[in-house]
Every structure is written in C-alpha cells, then in structure tokens.
C-alpha cells in the first residue's frame, strides 16, 4: 500500500495527546516526532553511525521486501528513549511530520535522490529511493498500529 498525505491525515485525526500506545513507552507526540526523524534521516538531514556490519545490513535489508511487520517493542541503539520533545504540542509535531513527509516525496523525485552516496540507515545500510519508501511504509504502519490508528 502506497501511503499518501491524505490517508495519513485521516488516520492521524484519531490521535490525541491522551492516546495510549498498545505497547512500548512512546507518547503520541514522541511517536510522531520519531517518525519525523526517520523521514529526515532518509533525506540526509540526520545521520547515525552504522550499528551492524555491511554483511548483516544486506541480510536485514531483505526484510523490507517482505510482508512482515516490525516486531513490537523492537529496540535500536540510535533511538533514544525518553528524548526531549521538539515541539510544544502534538498538533505542531503533526504539522512537522506532514511537512517532512511532503519533503520526502519531493526529495524522492529530485536529482539529489538519484545521486550517490545514498543516506545510510544504521541497520539497513545504504538504501535506494525505493527501499527508503518501503522502510517508511513499514515504520509508519508499525507506529500507527501501536497507537490504534
């Protein structure tokens, strides 16, 4: 399923600051800010060191091409738990997420996205435009499911 801003906004309309996660410790706002940071990483606006070998990253990358979901309560070293929030409230965080989503869509169409080096993910390594799209679909769906969206 290809995500678009309209479908994301429809689902996000059900999210409130009081919405509790079905698992994990993220608040609604922290989840949205976390997704925004993932979008920023895919455009080269954030970077993190590799946490696995290149060989393991290639094996992990195969996951992007499956129908498998991320495991609940998955932990990765580059994500800080209880990180300070970047926005004053959930609505502002959602606005920033939407802006990042649109920027990612534009980036995907840009010449920059065609050039090397590609932004690197700490577990999946260098990803193509298509692979970043697959990762975002899985990642967004994982957290939207976490919050019942």
Residue 33 lies in a domain: yes
Cα angle for residues 116, 118, 123 (degrees, 5° grid): 145
Number of domains in the chain: 1
Task: Tell me the C-alpha distance between 124 and 62, whole Å.
Answer: 9
Alpha helices in the chain (DSSP H): 5-12, 28-42, 54-61, 90-109, 129-146
Residue pLDDT, tens place only, 36-93: 999 999 998 998 999 999 999 999 999 999 999 998 987 776 777 778 899 999 999 9
pTM above 0.85, yes or no: yes
Residue 108 lies in a domain: yes
Residue 87 lies in a domain: no
Report residue 144 as tokens: 């939207």
Look up residue 119 and give its DSSP letter. Answer: P
Residue 141 lies in a domain: yes
Residue 76 lies in a domain: no
Place of tokens 């959602």: 94
Residue 86 lies in a domain: no
């Amino acid at each position: 399923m290809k995500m678009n801003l309209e479908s994301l906004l429809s689902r996000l309309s059900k999210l409130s600051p009081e919405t509790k996660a079905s698992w994990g410790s993220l608040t609604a706002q922290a989840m949205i800010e976390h997704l925004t940071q993932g979008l920023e990483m895919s455009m080269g606006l954030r970077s993190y060191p590799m946490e696995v070998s290149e060989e393991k990253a290639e094996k992990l990358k195969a996951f992007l091409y499956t129908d498998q979901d991320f495991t609940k309560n998955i932990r990765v070293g580059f994500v800080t738990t209880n990180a300070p929030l970047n926005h004053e409230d959930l609505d502002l965080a959602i606005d920033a997420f939407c802006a990042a989503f649109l920027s990612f869509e534009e980036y995907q169409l840009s010449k920059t996205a065609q050039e090397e080096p590609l932004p690197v993910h700490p577990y999946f390594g260098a990803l193509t435009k298509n692979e970043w799209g697959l990762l975002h679909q899985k990642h967004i769906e994982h957290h939207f499911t976490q919050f019942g969206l």
